[in-house]
Amino acid sequence: MGNAVVLKPDARTPVSGGFLIARVLEEAGLPEGVLHVLPGVGAEAGAALVEDPNNQAISFTGSTAVGRKIGEAAGRLLKRVALELGGNNPFVVLEDADVELAATAGAFGSFMHQGQICMATGRHIVHFSLAADYVEALTSKAAALRVGDPFRDDVDLGPIIDAHQLDHIDGLVRETVRGGARVTTGGEHDRLFYRPTVLADVGTDAPAYRQEVFGPVAPVVTFRDDEEAVRLANDSEYGLKAAVHGGSYEHAMEVGRRLEAGAVHVNDMTVNDEAVAPFPAVKASGNQTAFGGPADVGEFTRWQWVTARETPNPVPIGGA
């Protein structure tokens, strides 16, 4: 949209999330001064960018907790802000779904990028009549995935980003198991390499179900009818992505229309993105803005009404 940009990458990914992007654009011919990369550790750099009067719009992708602080600051300064925050995305498997196809989509949704992606499937909500077969199929797929260093081996899953995040993932899994859930595969790690994990017999108050895990963990809960499925899917503070699988397109669409999420994917995966499509988010996943594709026109421009005459016309007031 013609705007100059200051890019503040996450402190853990300054190269892949900042300098590499700048270098690619530089080699592509982007003029000097249009894109600046500003790395920094801690909250000071980001806070300074939000507060700076030269920055008229803020676009933030990250945690809900940080997004709330940025939204508060932007509101006080009357700045436009676009927030894309956390997610705990439901994947609903209806009673007429194909179990094998659904489990394949569910595995991709939970384990792609080690689950370290906002679109990851965080909650598998499965009709009780299919639950045993679904867990078995999901477990088989998870157990077959290869975990290791992608620079040295041919693997499916790489490492968790750091020890702090690994401890968060492992802690949620262990607490959920203590609450009565059952690990059918995974639940263990070697250094930063966490095995893809399937949790069965999960309660709806379990930590790995209620919270955003941001790791390769697939908790499975069951439902008995569509009303309960919709209620479970919508019973979350988040509203980023949702997906539903069903044998009948009409049935899946009817349920999908009732899901509270910025994007709903019918007979598909929650991990679904297109550069030409808007990326909206509702509830605690964002502030109901959308960016990407044509939505960028609204997010990163502003309206100005201009009128012009070749010569001034007399104003009809105060005289003949």
Q: Which residues are catalytic?
A: 84, 118
**Which two structure tokens, joined as six digits, stand for 116?**
């370290």
Beta strands in 72-187 (DSSP E): 80-84, 89-93, 121-127, 182-185
Q: How far apart are CA 282 and CA 271, in angstroms?
A: 17
d(CA 73, CA 255): 38
**What DSSP string runs through 47-96?**
HHHHH-TT--EEEEES-HHHHHHHHHHHHHHT-EEEEE----EEEEE-TT
The distance from CA 257 to its chain's CA centroid, rounded to whole angstroms, is 20
Task: Using alpha carbons, select from 112, 117, 166 the residue that is nearest to residue 142.
Answer: 112
209 burial type by CB count under 10 A (0-12 exposed, 13-18 middle, 19+ buried): buried
